Amino acid sequence: MKNEMPQLPYPSNGLEPVISAETIEYHYGKHLQTYVTNLTNLVKSTEYEQKDIEHIVKDAPEGGIYNNAGQVLNHTLYFLQFTTPGQGKQPEGKLNELILRDFGSLDELKKQMEEAAVTLFGSGWAWLSLTPEGKLQITKEGNANNPLRQGNKPLLCIDVWEHAYYIDYRNRRAEHVKNLWNIIDWQTIGKRL
C-alpha cells in the first residue's frame, strides 16, 4: 500500500444513519488526510521514503513515522470495509468456516469485538486478525497499533478514537460500535482473508 488517500467506494452520506456525512468529512477528509500529509513530510530523505506502508508499520521504531503510518494503514482498512447499510451480506466460504470454528457463531464474534471496542481504555482500535497459525483473533490495540506489527493479517477493525463517533454519538461508544455491523462489507473482509 502506498501513502495516499484511498478512494471511498460510497459517497460521504452513503453510510448514514450509521456514520453521518459530517463524520466522514472530518474523519476521512481531515483526520486521515492529516496522517497522509504528516507521513509524507516525515519520511522525506529517510530510509522509509520509498517503503510501502505495511513495511513501515512492521519495521519502524516507535515514534512519528510509525504512528502516522499506522494510522494511514488502519484508516484505509477501516474506511474500505464499509458499504451502504444492509448491503454487506454475510460471511461466506473460508471466512464463515473460520468464524464458526473459532467463535462458534457470528453473533459471538460480534459480541467479543464489541466488548473489546467498548472496554479499550483511551484511544485505539479493536481488531479481528488472522494469526500466522491460521486462527482468528480479536485484540485491543492502543493508539496507532495494527496487528500486522505482531505478524498477524488484519481483517476488520473498529476505530474507538473519539473522533470516530463523537459528532454522531457523543459519548455513546457502545451504541456506535453496535451500529457498525449494519455497514460492514463481509465480502471485503473475506477477500482480505
Which residue lies nearer to Mn ion by CB, 136 or 164?
A: 164
Which residue lies nearer to Mn ion by CB, 56 or 72?
A: 72
Indicate the burial class of 100 (C-beta count within 10 angstroms; 0-12, 13-18, 19 or more): middle
Q: Write the single-letter amino acid at 127.
A: W
Q: Write the single-letter amino acid at 149.
A: R
The angle at the Cα of 132, spanning 188 to 89, to the nearest 5 degrees, equals 20
Provide, rounded to whole angstroms, the least separation between the CB of residue 6 and Mn ion.
13
Provide, rounded to whole angstroms, the least separation between the CB of residue 87 and Mn ion.
23
Which residue lies nearer to Mn ion by CB, 163 or 191?
A: 163
Place of cell 453496535: 178
Binding site for Mn ion (CB under 5 A): 159, 161, 164
Provide, rounded to whole angstroms, the least separation between the CB of residue 102 and Mn ion.
27
Cβ(65)–Cβ(46) below 8 Å: yes
